[in-house]
Amino acid sequence: MSGVSGSDTCPNCGAEMDTYLDSKPFENVSGECYGCGFFYYTVAEQMCLEGLNEGRKERGLKPLKKLPKVSKLMKHYIKKEAS
Ligand SMILES: [Zn+2]
């Protein structure tokens, strides 16, 4: 973890909330309020093959037969955020 911890005013209850910002390996932000329980975080996911190909079509890219592999590092983030 090489991010920056900070604090911000909770948009829900106005209490001070803990925030966290990391820019590697992608922009990743989160915050949690212990005044009311509001929290947010960046979600990391991989599209399903169908959704990916739909987007590729719109961008003039050839459809893929198989979902590209996700690196070990990124798997760690996807698992962490999805669970
Ligand atoms: Zn709050």
Domain ranges of the chain: 1-42, 46-83
Taking a C-beta distance cutoff of 8 angstroms, is the pair 63, 57 a contact?
yes
> According to the model, what pLDDT value does residue 59 have?
98
Taking a C-beta distance cutoff of 8 angstroms, is the pair 40, 31 a contact?
yes
Nearest-angstrom CA–CA distance, 3 and 83: 21
Cα of 32 vs centre of ligand 1, distance in Å, is: 8
Cα of 33 vs centre of ligand 1, distance in Å, is: 5
3-state helix, strand and coil shares in percent for the chain, rounded to the nearest 5: 25, 25, 50
Nearest-angstrom CA–CA distance, 79 and 44: 8
Taking a C-beta distance cutoff of 8 angstroms, is the pair 35, 10 a contact?
yes
Tell me the pLDDT tens digit for each residue of 11-22: 999 999 999 999
Tell me the pLDDT tens digit for each residue of 24-79: 889 999 999 999 999 999 999 999 999 999 999 999 999 999 999 999 888 888 87
